[in-house]
Structure 1
Amino acid sequence: MIDLTSAKLLAKLIGALLSEELLSTESPAVASGEPQDLRIDFDGSSYSFRANRTMFDSYVVDPRSIQGISRGVLGDDESEPAHDPGHFVIDAAARLDLTGTTVANYIAELSATLAADAQMAATGIPSKQLVQLPHTEMEGQLTGHPLLVANKGRLGFAASDCARYAPEACQTLRPIWLAVSRQLAEFRSVPSISEQELISRELDPPAQERFQTLLREAGADPSGYLMLPAHPWQVDHVVRQLWSGSMLAGQIIVLGEAEDDYRPTQSIRTLVNIDQPTRMQVKLPLKILNTSVYRGIPRHCSLAAPITTHWLRSIWEGDPVLHTHAVLLGEVASVTVRHPHLADYPGVPYQWDETLGCIWREPVDAFLGAGETAWPLALVIHEDPDGETALLALAERSGRQLSHWLDALVSVTLRPLLHLLHTYGVSVNPHGENLMIICDAEGMPSRLVIKDLVDDVCISTDPVPARSWEPDGPMRVLPRKPWHVLRQYLVDALFLGVWAPLGQLLDTHGMPASSAQLWSLTRNVITDYANAHPEQAAQLGATGLLGREFGRYPLNGYRLRMGYTDLATRPPIAKTGSMPNPMYNPN
C-alpha cells in the first residue's frame, strides 16, 4: 500500500534533484507543457514517473505515478509503486557522490520531515477554516519551505521536542528569563526605546519585582545584569551545559518563566506573544540544524539589528511609497552574549558561537487598523489535507473574482520590493515566511509587511545617494553585493519560492486564473514601475528582471554537496547554471 504522505515527499525530492540538475532523466524532458513519462536509471534500480515542467524548467512529479524498478533474476524488470524517499537516497547516493555521513544525516532530516508531514496530514484543518484564524494560529498549519525537501529536519530535536516546540504541534510555551552579567552581555536598541522601557513593556510589574528579588537573593546587584528571554529547549540542552562555568560563577542566573504564553512561527526560533499580541516578538537561538543551517543568532546580527532598523526606519519615514504601502517590523532591541572561551577562537564552528542572545521584533498586530487582517505570504500556496487551497478561500472571503484578487496580491507584494531595490539599492529576502500580507476589511490585499531584517538585508555595491547614511561603524554591518545578486533574492525567494508553486496550484486545480496570467501580472507590474521611473533606467537594466534567464542556486544541492561537516562560517550558495525567465518576452 502506498503511503501518500511519503510518496509526496519522494516526489518533491525527485523533482528538486532534477530541477537543480543534480540528476537527469534517461530521455530529455521537453519544456513546460503536457505531463511526460520519465525515467531515472541507477546501478541495479530505476524509477519511472510522470512529471510536468514549470516555466522555470523545474520538475513537478506526480507522487501517485512513481514506480520503483528492480532487475529481475532472469533479466526482466520488476516494477512496484515507490514511496520511500530514504530508499531513493540510497539508490542515488553513488550518482550524487554522497559520503556515508551525508547519506545518514540527510536521511535523518528527511525522516524527521516525513514525521512532521504525517502529523500535519492527520491534523490539518480545512482551508476555509484556516483563513479565518489569527496569523499566530495559521503558522502551525503551514507545511514549510516549498523548495527545500527536508524542510523540517530539525537535527537536535527529539520527537518529544517536536511535540512541544514545533509549529505544527500548535502548543504554547513560555520562554525562560535569564539574567546575564554585563561582563558577558551587551544591550542595544533603537533611539526611541531604552533598556528599562523595553523590560517594562515586556514584563508586568510583579514579574519584574520577582526577578529583581531573585537576583538579590543570589547576592547579585541587579544593575550589573541584563535580562533576556531564552528558549526552554536551549536552556535545558545548551545553556545549562555549555555555559555551566558562567552559571557557577554567578554570571548567568536563571530567573524562571514570565506569565505570557507564546507560539512558535514557521521559523521555530521566533516566538509570538498570544496573550498580549502587542508585545514584542522574540527571536531566540536554537542549536538545531534546520533548512540548511543551525538556527542560532550570530553575534554580528544581534549587534547590528537595532541600528539596521533605525536606518531602514529613516528610509521608510521619508518615502511615501514605502510609508504608505509597506510595514516594516523593526528589530528594535537586542542582547548579545559572548561565550567566555569560544567567542573569538579562530575556526570554531559557527553553531557553537551563536547559542545565547535575543532580538526583539515589533509585532504586526500593532500596525493593523479596524477590520484589517494579516497572514504569512506562504498561506497562498497552502493546500489542506483534502487538497483544498487557501488561495481560493482567501479570494472567496473578499467576494471578488480570483483574477481581481490575484492582481491585487501581485501589486501589493511586488511594488514596494521593486521600489526598495531600485530606489535605494536595498534587498530583503522576500520568501513566504518573511513577508506578510495585510488585507482590508473586505479581504483584499492592501499592504505588505516585511520582517526578519538583519539576517537578510543586503545593499548594492554601487553607492546610492538616496540611501543617505548607512549603518556602518568600525566594521560593515550589511553585505554589499552587485545588482544581479541583489536581484536574485527577489527571484529565488518570491518568484521561484512563492509564485512558481502558486502558478502550479492555479494550473493543477483548474482555477479561473492560470500561471501564465500570474506571470503576465508580474511582468506588467515591473513594466509599469520601469515606465514610471525612467530615472532608474540604469538600476533596472542592471537587475534585468525581464531578461532571458536567471541564475540557478541549488538549495538542496547546497546541503548535499557541502555535507554535514562543521564549518566556521555559513558559506554562500554557489550558482550552478541558469533557468529561463517566465516573464521574458522578446517581442
Structure 2
Amino acid sequence: MTDLWRECSAALLAKAIGELCFEGLLRPDPGYELRFDDVVYTFSATRTAFGGWAVEPGSVRRAASGILGDAVVEPCDDVQRFVVDAFRFLRVDPATTAGFLAEVTATLAADVALAATAWPAAELAALPRAELDGHLTGHPWLIANKGRLGFSADDVARHSPESRTPVRLPWLAVHRGLAEFRGTSELSEDGVRARELDPATVERFTDAVQEAGVDPEAYVWLPVHPWQLDHVVRTLWAPELATGRIVELGEAPDWYLPTQAIRTMSNVDSPDRYQVKLPLKVLNTSVYRGIPPHCTLAAPVVTQWLAGLWRADKLLGEWGTDLLGEVASVTVRHPQLSRAGDVPYQWLETMGCIWRAPVALRPGERSWSLAALLHVDRTGRPLVAEYIGDTDLAVWFAALLRALFRPLLHVLYTYGITFNPHGENVVVITDADHVPVRVALLDLVDDVNVSVERVPARGLEPDAHDPVLPRKPWPVLRQYIVDALLVGVFRPLSRLLPLAEDRFWGMVRGEVDAYRDRFPTLADRVDSGSLTVRDFLRYPLNGYRITLGYRDLTARPPVPRTGTLPNPLHDVPPIPPPDGW
C-alpha cells in the first residue's frame, strides 16, 4: 500500500504543478524550475495546447538547505509537502492552505482506493455507463477533485462513486405548506410516483403517512440521499419531523449508484426510471452540492422550453442530439432560515430533488459519459484507445466532432444558448463498435446560459419575468464551450490520441469554419462569439478556491478572470469535415 500511495501522490503532485502553472499562479524558470522562498522544485514536462503543462509523474525533484547549510536535492512524490511550500510562497492564508490540504488529501486517498481496485481499459470498455462512472478518476483540471469536505472515511466508502456500492434511497413526505411539486405539462405528481415506485411501495408509503395521523393528500413525496437524511434532515429539520410536517416513509426497493457528479444517482435496477439529483451538504469541486430552490422551481419549465426548440429544429433532429430533460422537481424551503437574511447558501439548499430523464438508446447503441474519454488505466492504456479499436483514428475523431461539437456550435449561434459540456454533462452515444453517433446533454437549469442579445429564433425565454438563466454577452457565452470542452476535455484528449497536434486542432477548427460557411447569415454572431480568436480569457478553477478560501458566502461567486490563454484554433490550418458539411 505504501508504494501505491507514493505512486498516486506522485501523479497528483505532477497534476498540481501542471495545473497551477497553467493557471499562471506559478511561473517556472526556463529550465522547468519553481523557485520558492527556501526550496526549489525541478521537473520534466511537455507543453500542451492553451499554454498547458503536462508534468511527468516521478520527475519532480525538491532542493532545500540541509542542516549544515548545503543544498539537499531529493526525489519528491509528496503532494502535501508541495502544496504547503507553494502556498507559503504565494502567501495564501493559512486557513485556506489547511482547507485545500484537506481536500487534496481526501482526493489522494480516493485515488489510492481507485488504483487498488483498478480494471484494465479493455474490461472497462464493456461496462454500462452507470457502472463505468465508479472507475473514472474525476475532473481532469481540478487538483482536489474528490475533496468531499463533510464526508467521513465511512461515508466515502459507502457513498462515493469509486466505492461502487449501490444504495437504496429513503423517501420523505413533506407537507405542502413546505414543499412544492413542479413538472412538465405532460407529467403530474402521480405520474412521477407511478413511474418511480411500484404499487406495493406506494401502498407501503401511503400506510406510513396514515400511521403518522395525517392526510396523505396534503403531502408531497420525494427521495432523499441517505447521507443527507442522517446528517442534515434529522438534525436541521428535527422540528418538522417531530410535528409531522415531514414524515419518513422508508426506503424504496430499487438500487442506485452515484455518478461522477456524486449527488446524482442512477437507477441500476430499472435504468428506464429517472436519474435523481439530490442535495448534499458536502463541499466538492469548488462549491457545496446542494440544489438551490430557484433551480428546482425552474427546472421543468426550462426543460419544456428547450424541448420545444429541439422538436422544431430539423438539424438537431437529423443529428439525433438529445436532451436529458429535468422533467419534475420538488422544492422545499426551510421555514426559518429562508427568512433569516444573508444566510450562507449551503444552509438554504438542504432539501429538494430533480428528476432527470434517462438516456434512451436505440437498438445496437451504447453509451458512456464524455469523461470516460480521458480515463487511463494503470498500465498507461487510454480507455479511448479501446473505444477506437480498429476504426480509423481520423474517422473516429471526426465522428465525435460531428456528434458533439457541431450541435453545440449550432445551438450557440442559432439560438444564443450554451450548455456547460464538461465530462459529466455529456453522454456520448455510439454504435455497437463504439463509434460516436450522437450525444445527450444534461444539467439544463444549472448550466444553460443565454445571450444578452435577444435572438428571435429562441422565442420568449421561460424566465423572462423571474430570471434564472444567466444572460451573457457573446464573448463570455462562448467561454462555456472553451473552458468545459476545448480546455477541459480536448486539451487532455489531444495528448491521448495519436494524432498530430495540427491535425487534431485542425479538425476542430474545420468544424467551426464549416459552420460559418454553412450559415452566412449568422456570421455576425459567429464573429462576436468567435472560437478562432488569438486568445481566450482565463478562468482559473484551482485559483478560484485558493483566492476565495473556505469562508461562508451567501451565494456561489463567479470564477475571477486572470489573464488570457493562447488559442490553438487561431492559426492552425483548418481541415474540413469529411462529410462535406
TM-score, with structure 1 as normaliser:
0.95
Instruction: Give 1:391's aligned residue.
Output: 384
Letter in 1 for 2:336: H
Q: Distance in 1 between matches of 2:177 and 2:476?
A: 39
Contact 1:392 1:402 in 2 (8 A): no
Deviation at 1:586, TM superposition (A): 7.8
Moved more, 441-450 or 108-117: 441-450
Q: 1:9 and 2:2 equivalent?
A: no
Task: Write the mapping of 1:348-363 to structure 2, written as runs, cut at 5 A.
Answer: 348-363=343-358
TM-score, with structure 2 as normaliser:
0.96
Q: 1:19 and 2:22 equivalent?
A: yes
Instruction: Give 1:571's aligned residue.
Output: 557
Name the % identity. 50
2:413 equivalent among 416, 419, 422: 422
Deviation at 1:51, TM superposition (A): 1.3
Q: Distance in 2 between matches of 1:93 and 1:432?
A: 29
Q: Distance in 2 between matches of 1:441 and 1:393?
A: 13
Q: 1:204 to 1:568 in 2, by over 3 A?
A: same
Contact 2:133 2:161 in 1 (8 A): yes
Letter in 2 for 1:92: A
Instruction: Give 2:250's aligned residue.
Output: 256
Letter in 2 for 1:176: P
Q: Distance in 1 between matches of 2:563 and 2:160?
A: 35
Q: Distance in 1 between matches of 2:572 and 2:492?
A: 25
Contact 2:302 2:462 in 1 (8 A): yes
Secondary structure of the residue that 1:65 maps to in structure 2? Answer: coil
Letter in 2 for 1:373: R
Q: 1:276 and 2:254 equivalent?
A: no
Instruction: Give 1:543's aligned residue.
Output: 529
Instruction: Give 1:338's aligned residue.
Output: 333
Over the aligned positions, Cα root-mean-square deviation in angstroms equals 1.2
Deviation at 1:73, TM superposition (A): 3.9
Instruction: Give 2:152's aligned residue.
Output: 158
Q: 1:61 and 2:42 equivalent?
A: no
Deviation at 1:23, TM superposition (A): 1.2
Aligned length: 569
Instruction: Give 1:312's aligned residue.
Output: 306
Contact 2:429 2:437 in 1 (8 A): yes
Q: Distance in 1 between matches of 2:143 and 2:351?
A: 29
Q: Distance in 2 between matches of 1:140 and 1:515?
A: 31
Deviations 1:102-160 (A, max 9, x none): 01110000000000001111111111111111111110011000000000000000111
Letter in 2 for 1:90: V
Q: Distance in 2 between matches of 1:151 and 1:71?
A: 33
Runs of 4+ displaced beyond 4 Å: none
Q: Distance in 2 between matches of 1:549 and 1:378?
A: 25
Q: Distance in 1 between matches of 2:206 and 2:367?
A: 37
Which runs of 5 or more residues in structure 1 are unaligned?
29-36
Contact 1:502 1:515 in 2 (8 A): no
Deviation at 1:75, TM superposition (A): 3.8
Q: Distance in 2 between matches of 1:564 and 1:247?
A: 31
Which runs of 5 or more residues in structure 2 are unaligned?
574-581
Deviation at 1:74, TM superposition (A): 4.2
Contact 1:329 1:451 in 2 (8 A): yes
Q: 1:584 and 2:577 equivalent?
A: no
Instruction: Give 2:65's aligned residue.
Output: 71
Q: 1:477 and 2:472 equivalent?
A: no
Q: Distance in 1 between matches of 2:554 and 2:191?
A: 36
Secondary structure of the residue that 1:489 maps to in structure 2? Answer: helix
1:187 equivalent among 167, 181, 186: 181
Q: Distance in 2 between matches of 1:124 and 1:320?
A: 43
Letter in 1 for 2:143: V
Q: Distance in 2 between matches of 1:347 and 1:250?
A: 28
1:205 equivalent among 176, 191, 199: 199
Deviation at 1:476, TM superposition (A): 1.0
Q: 1:406 and 2:390 equivalent?
A: no
Secondary structure of the residue that 2:254 maps to in structure 1? Answer: coil
Q: 1:322 and 2:313 equivalent?
A: no
Q: 1:442 and 2:433 equivalent?
A: yes
